[in-house]
Amino acid sequence: MIIYLIGALANEKIPEIAQQIRAVGHDVYDQWWCPGPDADRHWQAYCKFRGWTYAEALNEWHAKQVFEIDKFHLDRSDAGILVLPSGKSAMAELGYLTGQGKPVYILVTKEPEKYDIMPEMAAGVFESLADLMKVL
């Protein structure tokens, strides 16, 4: 199965979780994590230096290319796993995959600071990777 691992750039557990899922034979896309925890802040600072508004920044080459790479991998995936805590984009990715009829599972690695109802659209919410792996 091809799994898109959804999460936050600041979550240091992403590569470890991906490796554990790969170890049982799944193809996991987690390379979005490579730029590191400050990638979005650096991109924002660069855009502000250029004098771009947020809307203008979303229409420049870097944003378009990064979006297309992530969308390509979302489209080719069979399922998603959202690792909490996560950023704002994570719920959009969960919704996108769910809208395509693909199952998305949520792995809670840390109690959320603020509860949210929308994870109800997930195929399941798990508090341990071992329990989630049984479903995969």
Domains, the chain, in order of start with CATH, read 2-135 (3.40.50.450)
With pLDDT > 70 as the criterion, what percentage of the chain qualifies? 100
Long-range contacts, 10-19 (Cβ 8 Å, 24+): 10/37, 10/87, 11/83, 11/85, 11/86, 11/109, 13/83, 13/109, 14/83, 17/81, 17/83, 17/107, 17/109, 17/129
Q: Are 7 and 14 in contact (CB under 8 A)?
A: yes
Confidence of residue 132 (pLDDT cuts 50, 70, 90): very high
Residue-wise pLDDT tens digits, 32-72? 999 999 999 999 999 999 999 999 999 999 999 999 999 99
Arithmetic mean of pLDDT, 11-29:
96
User: d(Cα 11, Cα 33) in Å, to the nearest integer?
Assistant: 9
Terminal Cα-to-Cα distance of the chain (whole angstroms): 9
Confidence of residue 99 (pLDDT cuts 50, 70, 90): very high
Nearest by Cα to 106 from 117, 10, 9, 67: 117
